Amino acid sequence: MYLRRYARIGGQPTLLRSLFCISLACPCVALCFSQNGSSPGGALEIDKAVLPTPINQPPDALAQVRHRQDRITRQNFDAANALRQRQIADETMKLLILARDLKLQMDKLGNDPLPDKLMREVEVIEEFARDVQKKMTLTVRPG
């Protein structure tokens, strides 16, 4: 009675179900081995050479060194430009102070002719302004 109760599962005999599962499993196992490129005996079947793709490849040492040098060069040029901009700002402030002082001195004179000292000061301010203008047009760039 024990055997009859467990002999049939789902209305089919257990032996038939086992044979059916084995008949389905054998082609699946064979298909898996053929897709992996290795046979059940352990021998490898090489169909084609496996080359790493450029997408998955890490950069070579030379490319890493070049990238590092480019980054350092860019940082150095950025630092030089920042220094140049600070110098331009300082010189511009000095230029404004000189121009304001010259204007005050000229206002004190009124309609009198300008003394030689003020004329030299005007020339110095003009030369200083040209230097600041040249520095404003220059930009330090890599390579």
Closest CA to 54 of 46, 63, 45: 63
2-61 pLDDT, tens per residue?
445 545 455 555 655 665 656 655 565 555 555 554 445 555 556 666 666 777 777 789
Residue 125 and residue 66 share a domain = yes
CA distances from 118 to 16, 104, 127 (A): 118, 11, 14
Residue 116 and residue 69 share a domain = yes
99-112 pLDDT, tens per residue?
999 999 989 888 88
On whether residue 85 sits in a domain, the answer given is yes
DSSP letters of 70-97?
HHHHHHHHHHHHHHHHHHHHHHHHHHHH
Tell me which residue range forms the domain holding 76: 61-137
Total domains in the chain come to 2
Residue 133 and residue 65 share a domain = yes
Residue 124 and residue 68 share a domain = yes
Residue 105 and residue 70 share a domain = yes
Amino acid letter at 21? C
CA torsion, ordered 127, 129, 130, 134, to nearest 10 deg: 140
pLDDT reported for residue 1: 46
Residue 68 and residue 31 share a domain = no
